[in-house]
Amino acid sequence: MIIGPPGAGKTTYCFGMQQFLTQLGRECVVVNLDFANEHVGNNNKHDGDDDTQEGGKHAARLNTYDCAIDVRDLVSLEAVMEEYKLGPNGGMMFCMEYLLENVDWLVESIEKLPTHAYILFDCPGQVELFSHHKALGDIIAALGKPRLDFRLCSVHLIDSFYCLEPATFISAVLLVASTMLRLSLPHVNVLTKIDLLPNYGHLPFTMNFYTELTNLKPLVRYIDNPMESLEAIEAQEQREWQRRREDDNDEEEEEDGDLSSYGGSIVDSSDGSGARNPYPANPTTGANSSKLRGRLARMSWELCDVLSDFGLVAFLPMNIQDATTVGRVAIAIDKANGYSFAASESLALRQREQGGNAAGGNNNNNNNADSSLNHLFSMASQDLEPEYAKSLEIYEKYGGA
């Protein structure tokens, strides 16, 4: 189940992953569950579409995928908005609930697909559909029932551009954590478009900071602050801390008992380390603004503390045009949904089905494809590369982003 906010690259991911898996010899099909996605090519004609061949060529030019099932054959956002006079968000909610009421249509369409096909579900980009609303969760439950008996996992795509803005990145991590708990599926989180990171600007930390998420607290100091050098920010923090200590005439500060409500540092002694929130107040914006910024810092600090302590979220960096990063994502997904553990059985079944029906040359091609596929699955059963080595490779390849 491919989910993520608008612009995260879900359609591009479906196209790239479909091509990647096909090259490995794995039969892969895509099911479009986005009621507003017009950038798909399929064998079902809509009003005003070109013929099938031209439509397929047009889809290839746009880097879009050919879907085996298009939910717009059942209901489309454009038709709902026109008929019921709804806006885009309300229309999307209506479409999702309509699909839930007619989930048998989806199940029956899936049953017509090849039995050994690997299926990608391209979901809508409205985050409330998978973070707050229950319709998508109920549809996922229907797909997991014995009639289909699917082994599902969710792949959450987040644009790496969010790494540039600390507050936005923290919000994205919170969204991912909320979605993981809401969908209750094995979850793989992916940072997309990492090849574009050098064009976005300077990041204060290396890539492994944003992927491993072992400690998000250092991000707090960069909220509403320019991306200065670490030394300059630490000097500013020291000056602010000293100024707060010398200000003994502030009654509200004495009542609070600490400096956090005014933008000063928060001493965290829960783990015995004495770590403090280094988010500095802005002394030029007045006491009220400084107090507001201090409370924002305290909230951000506590949120980062929760996310880091529980260790629920981590990301895999991916450039859809880089086979190495795509392969790592595919391996993680195969681990999550259990596909890697059924690899040998699946390959043996396909070889029995195809054995004796193909010519010698075709058998050689099939054996080569099976060998590549088996190699990928064997990699999925063990960690061949330490995380540090992977992070270092990404760091070097994409300009130290």
In three-state secondary structure terms, 115 is coil
Q: Please choose, from the candidates 227, 240, 207, the residue with its C-alpha nearest in 3D space to the C-alpha of residue 319.
A: 207
C-alpha span between 120 and 114 (Å, rounded): 14
| 159 DSSP β-pair partners | 192
Say if residues 306 and 295 touch (Cβ distance below 8 Å): no
CA 311 to chain centre: 16
Which residue type occupies 69?
A: I
Q: How much is the pLDDT for 60?
A: 44
pTM score: 0.76
Q: How much is the pLDDT for 265?
A: 42
C-alpha span between 70 and 122 (Å, rounded): 10
| 187 DSSP β-pair partners | 154
Residue keyed to tokens 């507001």: 292
Please count the residues of the chain.
401
Say if residues 379 and 334 touch (Cβ distance below 8 Å): no
Say if residues 217 and 343 touch (Cβ distance below 8 Å): no
State the DSSP H helix or E strand holding residue 148, giving kind and residue range, or none if neither: none
Q: How much is the pLDDT for 259?
A: 38
C-alpha span between 258 and 242 (Å, rounded): 14
Say if residues 360 and 139 touch (Cβ distance below 8 Å): no
Tens of pLDDT along the chain (401 residues)? 999 999 999 999 999 999 999 888 888 999 999 999 887 876 444 333 444 344 444 444 456 788 999 999 999 999 999 999 999 999 999 999 999 999 999 999 999 998 777 899 999 999 888 888 899 999 999 998 888 888 899 999 999 999 988 889 999 999 999 999 889 899 999 999 999 988 887 787 888 889 999 888 888 878 876 655 556 656 666 776 677 677 654 544 444 444 333 333 444 444 444 455 555 444 444 444 455 566 777 888 888 888 888 788 999 999 999 999 999 999 999 889 888 776 555 566 666 666 655 544 555 555 555 555 555 555 454 454 555 566 666 666 775 54
Q: Which long-range contacts (CB under 8 A, 24 or more apart) does 45-49 make?
A: 46/72
Q: Please choose, from the candidates 65, 152, 73, the residue with its C-alpha nearest in 3D space to the C-alpha of residue 112.
A: 73
Cα–Cα separations (whole angstroms), residue 54 to 41, 123, 182: 10, 25, 41
User: Residue 37's CB: how many other CB atoms inside 10 A?
Assistant: 23
C-alpha span between 345 and 392 (Å, rounded): 35
DSSP character for 101? H
C-alpha span between 256 and 266 (Å, rounded): 12
Q: Please choose, from the candidates 160, 159, 154, the residue with its C-alpha nearest in 3D space to the C-alpha of residue 178.
A: 154
The separation between the first and the last C-alpha atoms of the chain, rounded to the nearest angstrom, is 28
CA 226 to chain centre: 27
**Per-residue tokens: 168:** 């936005």
Q: How much is the pLDDT for 163?
A: 92
Q: Where in the chain is the domain with CATH 3.40.50.300?
A: 2-217+311-325
Which residue type occupies 61?
A: R
Taking the CA atoms of residue 350, residue 351, residue 355 and residue 358 in that order, the dihedral angle to the nearest 10 degrees is 70
C-alpha span between 193 and 335 (Å, rounded): 23
Is 2-217+311-325 a domain of CATH 3.30.70.360? no
The DSSP result for 202-252, as a single string, is --SS-HHHHHH-S--GGGGGGTTS----HHHHHHHHHHHHHHHHH----HH
Q: How much is the pLDDT for 239?
A: 72
Q: How much is the pLDDT for 299?
A: 86
CA 101 to chain centre: 28
C-alpha span between 289 and 294 (Å, rounded): 8
